[in-house]
Structure 1
Amino acid sequence: MRFSGGLECCSTDFLGINYYLSHVVRGVTDDETPPSQSERDGSYAFVEGKWEKICGDTWIRYAPDGLLALLKYVKETYNNIPVFITENGCPDIVGEEKKPVEEILKDTHRIKYITGHLEVVAKAIEEGCNIIGYTLWTLMDNFEWDDGFELRFGICRVDFESPEKTRTMKQSAKFYQNFIREFKKHHNLL
């Protein structure tokens, strides 16, 4: 495995990747100031990407092609180290929190997001990438470090107002349940 910065002596069992979106960046000149604080080292600037905002006005973009490119890059650059995709998912559509629960449970945008990303994971495996696992983010609505309870990533809705914290499966949970069932059948897994 090729590392830089003194990590040549280290070994690892796998690389864990949290993937939600891709960014396009460009270099900046010496006299140019990066447009945002997040471009900390001052050597690049974000370029608006072509990716769809399927979750409303949030930082998440629908960019499965970026995941495929990343997995291929890891394969080529790091001697095809085993990769575990530790987080991949999208929240409910921002701005639709006040809709009736029945409508919120019909999260077809999330099904599109999950499907697109699982398809490129399958393609990466077919192309020889050493993918050893995938974790959908997340099974239930939870507390997000940057967004608190505002962004709901769960495929099961949690009613944080009820004393029992009632959980209800969204359409995406039923989709994912069926996907796993069919995958297990197709691959003769327990």
Structure 2
Amino acid sequence: MLWILLAAASLLIVGLAVWEPRFRKLAEPVLSVLVAVGLISAFVVWWTDDNAKTREPLSPVTADRPVATIGENQIRLENLQFEKSTPASSYVVTGTVHNDSTAFLDYFTLDVTLDDCPAGTCRTIGRDDALIIARIPPGQSAALRTSLVFPAPRAGPPEAPRWTTAIVKIQSSPAGP
């Protein structure tokens, strides 16, 4: 409400300064003070409003419910297939995710390393990770599809690619009501 009054007063002062030559000398300092008051009041409103908000937790876990954790060994990845995509150094990963825990799987990070292993000697081409939003209930499965991008190897595309996967940063929530 205060800002409406300040805006109306500013318009009145500008109008008087345009029509009344004697008022122009007074209009500039008055407008400067009004703008300063407006900025200060806007800052105070912003500051108090931001601090007045109650922060909601990022996770659905509340204080009265136990935190459910899922171990890396309770998530299984099956039938992972890596297909070349565009550009040449990117791949599409498909497969199945199984949640063998007693908690809801919300999301996890899939960490993948690509090695080129022709004739038994391996050289690492690169590593990438992908955030997988899963939302899988306990004991159930879901399809997995994500994209990974690796650095373009100087020696050309991998002749004998070897994929190493790991599940890290698991987020879960308790099962039940």
TM-score bin (small chain):
under 0.3
Bigger fraction of residues in strand: 2
Higher relative contact order (CA 8 A, sep 6+): 2
Question: Which TM-score applies when normalising by structure 1?
Answer: 0.21
Question: Which TM-score applies when normalising by structure 2?
Answer: 0.22
Rg comparison, structure with higher value: 2
